[in-house]
RNA sequence: GGACAGGUGGCCGAGUGGUUAAAGGCAGCAGACUGUAAAUCUGCCCGCGCAAGCGUACGCUAGUUCGAAUCUAGCCCUGUCCA
């Protein structure tokens, strides 16, 4: 199992992407013989994907790096249903318009990770609404439905958990796994797709797709899942401070994105470097071996590399220099949130709200009362404090990490 | 259609007439310690207000009561079992 012949599996193995494989030997053989088209599905539940989806995106990138063809499947059709997997409650149904606009917005991110085009190993993007929307119920039941055993479906974790917890699972959601399986089969027909990848929670769906493809067409296809990514302290990746860590620029400023990686847990640095950057493994080994506070250097590299990939070179450089100026120098950087102040004076409360460090006046006051608010590095404990700018830029901070700039206008 | 159980703050979960803006936990924010790390300890954690206070809030609606998350009725939703 350890020694793969194919570049693909070796690459995935050594960088930590593999959790489960459906047929390691078969896939290894296939991948060493020629181009393997492989896909991963993404649900358009929001206008942007977040860091939690990044393993999958990187997986497609690795696929292309290893000389194969990545297929990005947008779940424009399945998104109308919602994955029941492990959710506590039924997802609210999204309107068709929302889905369409989410699909369009998510699309842009992939261009940074993959090379699209018409060549044999160029990436393509497809939307399962293209075929799912047109399905006719009776023909679909006859062709596809006959291959599914309800007994079996009930035994899948995604469904079982919902039932065990005595939570409702609508028939609509129950169908999700069938449609997902159908996607694989459809992609195998349309694009000769041989491989589906996904998070470990997708295992059941992937296996279903493989079986359906075999039963309907007698074709052999494969599946790979990635480990469920959590941070070292056990939290799901991609949810922090002010919510999710979005990939799209308009959903999260590059500086905040950079900071997310800069603040990674020590124990995660090596793993993240392998998964989310293209740095060579020996370089990563050197970085993750750094001890104590030296590891901070590795975190900067991590932040730079990931930001470069997701947001571009310029964004990464700007974020780094802002961070350096703000933290090391105690100064200001261009990327910090900025508030234009009229009239040369503003109350500390309004400044904190204006910079987005507090969501309400009460919250701002509590922050001040708790000693977390600083003006030019000096703690302010009086919530009626007024800041006078005198034409200068003033630095306002919430805690030690969140900094912003007041500028007079 | 019937019987039973249930719907509480971002989540989990106590609370069964006033002392309940609602125990506890998780998540989050801040402070101390540090390395913009982890762990630990401390404070905060519906909104407005300097405050007294006011406004909202316990599925929805209408009641009973001086007073309801707590009682009554109807409705909606969920689960389990029965038809």
Distance A264 CA to B36 C1' (A): 10
3-state SS class at A378: strand
Query: What is the helix (H) or strand (E) element at residue A261, kind and residue range?
Result: helix A254-262
Q: Round to whole Å and give the CA distance between A88 and A80.
A: 18
Please name the nucleotide lying closest to A291, CA to C1'. Answer: B35
Tell if A361 CB is < 7 Å from nucleic strand B: yes
Give the pLDDT confidence score for residue A251 in this predicted structure.
86
Tell if A293 CB is < 7 Å from nucleic strand B: yes
A 10 A CB-CB count for A401 gives: 12
Tell if A169 CB is < 7 Å from nucleic strand B: yes
- In chain B, which nucleotides are within 7 Å of a protein Cβ? 11-12, 27-32, 34-39, 43-50, 78-80
Contact indicator for A109, A248 with CB cutoff of 8 Å = yes
Please name the nucleotide lying closest to A324, CA to C1'. Answer: B36
Tell if A319 CB is < 7 Å from nucleic strand B: no
Distance A92 CA to B59 C1' (A): 17
Q: Round to whole Å and give the CA distance between A352 and A180.
A: 46
**Residues near A168 by beta carbon (within 8 Å), at least 6 away in sequence:** A90, A162
Give the pLDDT confidence score for residue A2 in this predicted structure.
62
Distance A246 CA to B20 C1' (A): 39
Give the pLDDT confidence score for residue A86 in this predicted structure.
47
Q: Round to whole Å and give the CA distance between A408 and A338.
A: 10
Distance A393 CA to B20 C1' (A): 47
Tell if A356 CB is < 7 Å from nucleic strand B: no
Whole-Å CA distances, A75 to A28, A46, A103, A370: 28, 12, 8, 46
- Give the torsion through C-alpha atoms of A78, A82, A87, A93, to 10 deg: 160
Distance A45 CA to B60 C1' (A): 29
Please name the nucleotide lying closest to A294, CA to C1'. Answer: B35
Q: In the 322-351 stretch of chain A, whose C-beta falls under 7 Å of nucleic acid strand B?
A: 323-324, 326-327
Q: Round to whole Å and give the CA distance between A304 and A143.
A: 50
- Read off the pTM: 0.89
Mean pLDDT per 10-residue section of chain A, whose length is 409 residues: 86 95 95 96 86 92 97 89 52 71 91 95 95 94 91 81 69 85 96 94 92 96 90 67 78 92 92 96 95 93 96 96 85 86 88 89 89 88 86 89 89
Give the pLDDT confidence score for residue A385 in this predicted structure.
87
Q: In the 213-232 stretch of chain A, whose C-beta falls under 7 Å of nucleic acid strand B?
A: 232
Tell if A262 CB is < 7 Å from nucleic strand B: yes
Give the pLDDT confidence score for residue A40 in this predicted structure.
96
Please name the nucleotide lying closest to A266, CA to C1'. Answer: B37
Tell if A134 CB is < 7 Å from nucleic strand B: no
- Identify, with chain letter, the residue nearest to nucleotide B42 (CA–C1'): A370
Q: In the 16-75 stretch of chain A, whose C-beta falls under 7 Å of nucleic acid strand B?
A: none
Distance A79 CA to B62 C1' (A): 40
Distance A268 CA to B39 C1' (A): 16
Distance A154 CA to B81 C1' (A): 20
Contact indicator for A209, A183 with CB cutoff of 8 Å = yes
Q: Round to whole Å and give the CA distance between A7 and A62.
A: 10
Distance A67 CA to B72 C1' (A): 72
Q: Round to whole Å and give the CA distance between A167 and A48.
A: 29
């Amino acid at each position: 199992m350890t020694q793969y012949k194919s570049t693909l599996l070796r690459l995935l193995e050594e960088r930590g992407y593999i959790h489960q494989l459906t047929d390691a030997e078969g896939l290894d053989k296939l991948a060493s013989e020629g181009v393997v088209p492989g896909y991963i599905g993404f649900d358009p539940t929001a206008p942007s994907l977040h860091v939690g989806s990044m393993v999958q995106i990187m997986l497609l990138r690795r696929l292309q790096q290893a000389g194969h063809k990545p297929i990005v499947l947008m779940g424009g059709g399945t998104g109308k249903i919602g994955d029941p997997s492990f959710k506590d409650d039924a997802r609210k149904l999204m309107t068709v318009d929302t889905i369409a606009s989410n699909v369009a917005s998510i699309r842009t991110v992939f261009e940074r990770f993959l090379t699209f085009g018409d060549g044999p190993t160029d990436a393509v993007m497809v939307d399962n609404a293209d075929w799912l929307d047109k399905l006719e119920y009776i023909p679909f039941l006859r062709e596809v439905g006959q291959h599914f055993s309800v007994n079996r479906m009930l035994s899948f974790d995604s469904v079982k958990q919902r039932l065990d917890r005595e939570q409702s699972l609508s028939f609509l959601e129950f169908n999700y796994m069938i449609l997902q399986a159908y996607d694989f089969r459809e992609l195998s027909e349309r694009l000769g797709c041989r491989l589906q990848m996904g998070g470990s929670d997708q295992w059941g769906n992937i296996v279903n797709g493989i079986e359906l493809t075999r039963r309907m067409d007698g074709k052999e296809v494969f599946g790979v899942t990635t480990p469920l990514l959590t941070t070292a302290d056990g939290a799901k990746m991609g949810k922090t401070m002010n919510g999710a860590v979005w990939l799209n620029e308009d959903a999260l400023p590059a500086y905040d994105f950079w900071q997310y990686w800069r603040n990674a847990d020590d124990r995660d640095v090596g793993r993240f470097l392998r998964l989310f950057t293209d740095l060579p493994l020996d370089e990563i080994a050197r970085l993750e071996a750094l001890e104590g506070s030296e590891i901070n250097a590795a975190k900067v590299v991590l932040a730079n590399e990931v930001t470069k990939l997701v947001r571009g070179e310029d964004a990464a450089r700007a974020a780094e220099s802002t961070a350096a100026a703000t933290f090391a120098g105690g100064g200001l950087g261009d990327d910090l949130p900025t508030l234009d102040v009229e009239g040369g004076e503003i109350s500390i409360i309004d400044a904190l709200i204006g910079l987005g460090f507090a969501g309400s006046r009460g919250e701002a006051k509590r922050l001040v009362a708790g000693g977390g608010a600083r003006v030019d590095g000096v703690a302010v404990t009086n919530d009626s404090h007024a800041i006078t700018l005198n034409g200068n830029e003033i630095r306002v901070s919430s805690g030690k990490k969140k900094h912003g700039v007041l500028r007079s206008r």
